[in-house]
Structure 1
Amino acid sequence: MAMGRRAAGRAGVSHPVFARIYPRINASAEAHGGLEHRRELLADATGRIVEVGAGTGANFRHYPPGVERVIAVEPEPRLRELARQAAPDAPVPVEVSRSGRAEELPVPDGSVDGVVASLVLCTIGDVPAALAEAARVLRPGGRLYFYEHIRSADPRFARVQRVLDVVWPLLGGGCHLTRDTERAITDAGFVIERARHFQFLVNGRATPSSPCVIGVARKPAAA
């Protein structure tokens, strides 16, 4: 079976400063509702899963019993090591891949039941390529589980996001504030089955990355 357009994992991603502070950022997010969001994202996951941009492995402990195996891909070496440390404590088998990026997944065509993208599509350089890879590795009818911060539907808030997006990626490991993730998913041929939009508030206050969506999209079954 094919393993992607190029050799998987040919180039890594290095954000050493962001990788050092991200565990604290994630801990703060989880203290303000992030744990519940991860549980919601993964509640219906089943079968074989590829998790794209696994980060520190924060999702691992939330996979339900119906998941047979998780193949986790994280190109940033410091975060990947943290994910490896988290894997043994997961309630389901987790393999942290030694190679691979969202645009070049080290998984054969049509070999998994689900792809998980959790707070990662904001950072990827080529989102259409990453979503094409998700579609490639999914079986017909397989599902994409996504949890992302997105461009605000409020024009005034979106203008602020656009201004900040000049410097935000430099501070946030390549993270962008203004992506229309749902449109990118549908443009890639997925059918969105459900999506919940909400404001992720910290101590009751909005941040530039507060507009969020959690949802599930399906790869159409073969004709």
Structure 2
Amino acid sequence: MPAPETHPPRERPVRHPLFARFYERLSEAADVRAGVKEHREELLAGLSGRVIEIGAGNGLNFARYPASVTQVTAVEPEPHLRAAADAAARSEAVRVPVQVVAGTADALPAEDRTFDAAVFSLVLCSLPDVSRALAEVLRVVRPGGELRFYEHGRAEGRPRMVRFQRVLDGTVWPRLFGGCHTGRDPVGEITAAGFTDVSFRRLLVPKGGPVFPSSFHVLGGARRP
């Protein structure tokens, strides 16, 4: 008897109009005041070929892609942020072709093995199904391709903050911040999904400034087997 045919989940509407406007202002301020701009540049350095950016937000990464990238497909489900990303893609500061498309991380609008790299940038925290999103990356990136990630997550080595993050994630934080969770383990999720050559470094953002539940960042890369 043949195995049943499987399909990716149907795309769900994603609308956070108030949070989207708040995030747009917050992300722009963080780029300048918290040094996030430099982390974005490091995240994207050395990429080449076709890239899919998942959860592109308001497009702050676009101007930082190197000229060796031939095309960026930027997936963003939230309408307000997608419109902002589309405007950012047309900026004179952007050196590479960027196509902004609607879609969700757990059902990427792309064919199998069509990209040389995938990028997650401050998005794994808010996905309803991280494992499914990572499985989708494995599907659309060619064997040997890259995954680059810059995320915030669990406060490793700080038990009290981890407990506080757990309380926030189970109560108010996701409701206030568009589904965001403070205490996820992005490196563990990426490793468990089957990516290889996982390397990363931990960052405190803002460096030398006040510490928030969302201050514990990781910046790194991995390989699609």
Same-fold call, TM cutoff 0.5: yes
Matching residue of 2:64:
62
Select 1:157's aligned residue among 158, 161, 174.
161
Matching residue of 1:172:
177
Specify the code of the residue in structure 2 equivalent to 1:147. Y
The TM-score normalised by the length of structure 1 is 0.93
**Identity of aligned pairs, percent?**
50
Structure 2 contact 9–106 (Cα < 8 Å) conserved: no
Structure 1 contact 113–138 (Cα < 8 Å) conserved: yes
SS at match of 2:56: coil
Matching residue of 1:207:
212
CA distance, structure 1, for counterparts of residue 208 and residue 19 of structure 2: 23
Matching residue of 2:28:
27
Matched, 1:129 2:132: yes
Deviation at 1:140, TM superposition (A): 0.3
Matched, 1:84 2:86: yes
SS at match of 1:122: helix
Structure 1 contact 5–104 (Cα < 8 Å) conserved: no
Select 1:52's aligned residue among 37, 54, 61.
54
Please list the CA deviations of residues 51-104 of structure 1 after superposition, one character each: whole Å capped at 9, or x if unmatched: 00000001000000110100000000000000000001221000001x311001
CA distance, structure 1, for counterparts of residue 71 and residue 108 of structure 2: 16
Structure 2 contact 53–120 (Cα < 8 Å) conserved: yes
Matching residue of 1:106:
109
Matched, 1:182 2:187: yes
With over 3 angstroms needed to count, the CA separation of the structure-2 counterparts of 1:203 and 1:21, relative to structure 1, is farther
Specify the code of the residue in structure 1 equivalent to 2:100. V
CA distance, structure 1, for counterparts of residue 133 and residue 122 of structure 2: 14
Select 1:147's aligned residue among 133, 146, 150.
150
- Between stretches 14-23 and 195-204, larger displacement belongs to 195-204
Matched, 1:117 2:113: no
Specify the code of the residue in structure 1 equivalent to 2:116. D
Matching residue of 2:98:
94
Q: RMSD over aligned Cα, in angstroms?
A: 1.4
Structure 1 contact 186–192 (Cα < 8 Å) conserved: no
Matching residue of 2:3:
none
Deviation at 1:146, TM superposition (A): 0.4
CA distance, structure 1, for counterparts of residue 79 and residue 13 of structure 2: 8
Deviation at 1:11, TM superposition (A): 2.3
SS at match of 1:216: strand
Q: Write out the 4+ residue segments of structure 1 that deviate beyond 4 Å after TM superposition.
A: none
The TM-score normalised by the length of structure 2 is 0.92
Select 2:223's aligned residue among 207, 210, 218.
218
Deviation at 1:20, TM superposition (A): 1.3
CA distance, structure 2, for counterparts of residue 131 and residue 6 of structure 1: 13
- Between stretches 20-29 and 125-134, larger displacement belongs to 20-29
CA distance, structure 1, for counterparts of residue 46 and residue 58 of structure 2: 22
CA distance, structure 1, for counterparts of residue 130 and residue 201 of structure 2: 21
